[in-house]
A and B are shown apart, each in its own frame.
Chain A
C-alpha cells in the first residue's frame, strides 16, 4: 500500500528523518516504535503531507503506485479525504473547544464523504452506541467529555469513514490502562471487520506487541531494526531494540 524509499526530512541542517525505507503492506498493522524524538510522528506527517513549511522532504512515498511527493496541496487534501484517517495522541485538544461534538464529528466524517445530515446522524448514533457512548455526546462540548470519551469519538470517526489506511499517532498514551485495552480492542475490531491497513505509532511496546503484525524500530530518525512481532520481542538484534525490550519486560 505504502512504499517509502530513502525518505529524508530536515529543517535547515537538522535531520528529523534520515533515509528511511519501508513498506506498509495492505491489510496489515504496522507499528513504528521508538522513544520520544526518534522521528515517529514526523514520519506520519510526511506521509500525510502536513510537514511544516520550512521542512525539506527528499525521497519517494508511493501510495498505491502513485508518488505523493510532487502532489499539489489540493491533491494531497483530496487524498487524505478519500483514503486516510488519522487519530492523534491528544484527544482532549483534538476538537475545537467552542463547537458541539455533533458539528465536529460531522466535519470529520459526513462532510468528507458528502453525506447528508440525516444519514450522518443515523450512522454515527449506531457507531457511538457500539463504542459505549451515549447520544448525549453529540450535544456536548469537548470540555464536557473525558479524554477517553474524546478518543473514542475519534475512533467513531475512523469507523464512520472506513478509510483505506488508519494512522494512529500514540493513540493510547493519554488513556488509563482500562481505556487503553478497550481502545486496542476496538482498533483490532476495525481492522478485522473492514480490513483496514493500520500504521500505528507508539512508544509503548506492550501496545505494539498486542496488536501489530510487523514492527519498525526507530532511533534518531532512522530505522534500526524491523521484523515480525515475535522476532523483535524474542530475538532482538540491535542493541537499542534489546534495551527497549529489556526495559519493557
Chain B
C-alpha cells in the first residue's frame, strides 16, 4: 500500500517537473531577443551572419522550439543538463556549486520561520483578544506588505552603511579565511529579511487556526467536563498544526522566490542570483537547469510534507487515502 502511494507520488512529481520545464522552456523562447546571443558573448557586433548561422546550427538553435525541448528533456532524463552558454562549463557543475548556498539560506529561513511563527501563533491564538493577539495581527499585515527588496535596502543602509555591523553583500570576507563564523556573519542580513517577510503571515495562519480550533465543539466538551487546560491545549495544538504544516508545504516555493530577490540584493551566490544573471545573458541551459533543480527540491519538500501530514492526520492514514 505504502509502496503504491510512494510510486504514485513519484509519477506525479515527475509530471509536475515536466510541465514546469516545458512551460519555462517555451516562455524563455517566447521572450524578445535571440537565444543564441549568450553564445556570441561580447562578439555579437563583429560576427558575420554566416558565423552566427554556424553557431546556431552547432547548438541546434535553428531547430523548432518543440524539437529543442525534446532534445533537452531527453538529455536531462539521462542526467546531462548541457553546458553553460556563457561559461562553457557543465550546468550540473555550476548547480552543484550554487545549490548548497541557496539551501543554507532557505533551510535556515524555513527553520527560524517555523519555530518563531509556531511560538508566536500559539501565544496569540491561545489568548484571543489579548494584546499579543492584536499586535501579531498587525505585525503580520505589516510584514507581509513590505517588499523584501525594500527591506533589504533599508537593512543595508542602516546596519551596513550607517552602523557598520554587517557586510553589505557577499558570502565571505575577502581578507579572512572563511569558516562558519564568517558565513554566519554574512548570512545575518539576507536571512533576517527573508524571515521578517515570511514569519508574520505564517504566525497569523497558526494564530487563526488555533482560534478556530479553540472554538471547536470538542474543546467545549472537554472544558465543560473538567479536562485540565494543559491537556486541552495539547489537543488544540495537535489539530491546529495540521493545516499550518500543509500551509508551509504549499508556500515552500515562495521561499525560493524570495531568495532570488534577496540573493541578488546581498550578492549571495546561490541559485537565485544565478537565475537572475542567466536571464540577463540569456544563458538558457543554466536557466533550465536551475529551474529544474529548484523544482526537484520543491517536489521533494512537498513529498516530505505529505509524509508528515499522513503521520499527523489519522484520517489520511486510516481513511484509505494512502
- The reply to whether B239 and A112 contact each other, CB–CB distance below 8 Å, is no
- The reply to whether B218 and A94 contact each other, CB–CB distance below 8 Å, is yes
A221 and B58 CA atoms in complex are apart in Å by 88
Task: Report the count of interface residues on B (CB-CB < 8 A).
Answer: 25
A24 within 8 Å of B (CB atoms)? no
Interface membership of chain A positions 175-197, coded 1 if the CB is closer than 8 angstroms to chain B and 0 otherwise: 00000000000000000000000
A141 within 8 Å of B (CB atoms)? yes
Task: Give how many A-B residue pairs fall within 8 Å (CB-CB).
Answer: 71
A95 contact set on B, CB distance < 8 A: 218, 221
- The reply to whether A98 and B227 contact each other, CB–CB distance below 8 Å, is no
A48 and B220 CA atoms in complex are apart in Å by 11
Question: Which of B225, B229, B313 has the most chain A CB within a 10 Å cutoff?
Answer: B225
A50 → chain B, closest Cβ, in Å?
5
A81 contact set on B, CB distance < 8 A: 226
Given contacts A77-B226, A107-B227, are A98 and B314 in contact (CB under 8 A)? Answer: yes
Q: What are 28 A-B contacts with C-beta separation under 8 Å? A: A53-B129, A77-B226, A77-B229, A82-B226, A84-B226, A86-B221, A86-B224, A86-B225, A88-B224, A93-B217, A94-B218, A95-B218, A96-B222, A97-B218, A97-B314, A98-B312, A98-B314, A99-B235, A107-B227, A107-B231, A108-B222, A108-B225, A111-B227, A111-B231, A112-B227, A143-B314, A143-B315, A143-B319
B228 within 8 Å of A (CB atoms)? yes
Instruction: Point out the residue from A80, A94, A98, A157 that lies within 8 Å of B217, measured CB to CB.
Output: A94
- The reply to whether A98 and B239 contact each other, CB–CB distance below 8 Å, is yes
A157 and B227 CA atoms in complex are apart in Å by 12
* Interface members, chain B 201-259 (any A CB < 8 Å): 216-218, 220-229, 231, 235, 238-239, 242
A78 contact set on B, CB distance < 8 A: 226
B222 contact set on A, CB distance < 8 A: 96, 107-108
B216 contact set on A, CB distance < 8 A: 93
B4 within 8 Å of A (CB atoms)? no
A107 and B218 CA atoms in complex are apart in Å by 12
B234 → chain A, closest Cβ, in Å?
9
Residue on B with the closest CB to A50? B224
A88 and B223 CA atoms in complex are apart in Å by 12
A214 contact set on B, CB distance < 8 A: none
Residues of B within 8 A of A (CB): 129, 216-218, 220-229, 231, 235, 238-239, 242, 312-315, 318-319
A67 within 8 Å of B (CB atoms)? no
A68 and B57 CA atoms in complex are apart in Å by 90
B242 contact set on A, CB distance < 8 A: 98
A112 and B129 CA atoms in complex are apart in Å by 29
Residue on A with the closest CB to B129? A53
A141 contact set on B, CB distance < 8 A: 314-315, 318
- The reply to whether B313 and A98 contact each other, CB–CB distance below 8 Å, is yes
- The reply to whether B226 and A97 contact each other, CB–CB distance below 8 Å, is no
A111 contact set on B, CB distance < 8 A: 227-228, 231
A97 contact set on B, CB distance < 8 A: 218, 239, 314-315
Question: Which of A77, A107, A111, A144 has the most chain B CB within a 10 Å cutoff?
Answer: A107
Instruction: Point out the residue from A77, A84, A88, A99 that lies within 8 Å of B238, measured CB to CB.
Output: A99
B264 → chain A, closest Cβ, in Å?
42
Given contacts A98-B239, A112-B226, are A93 and B318 in contact (CB under 8 A)? Answer: no
A84 → chain B, closest Cβ, in Å?
8
A90 within 8 Å of B (CB atoms)? yes
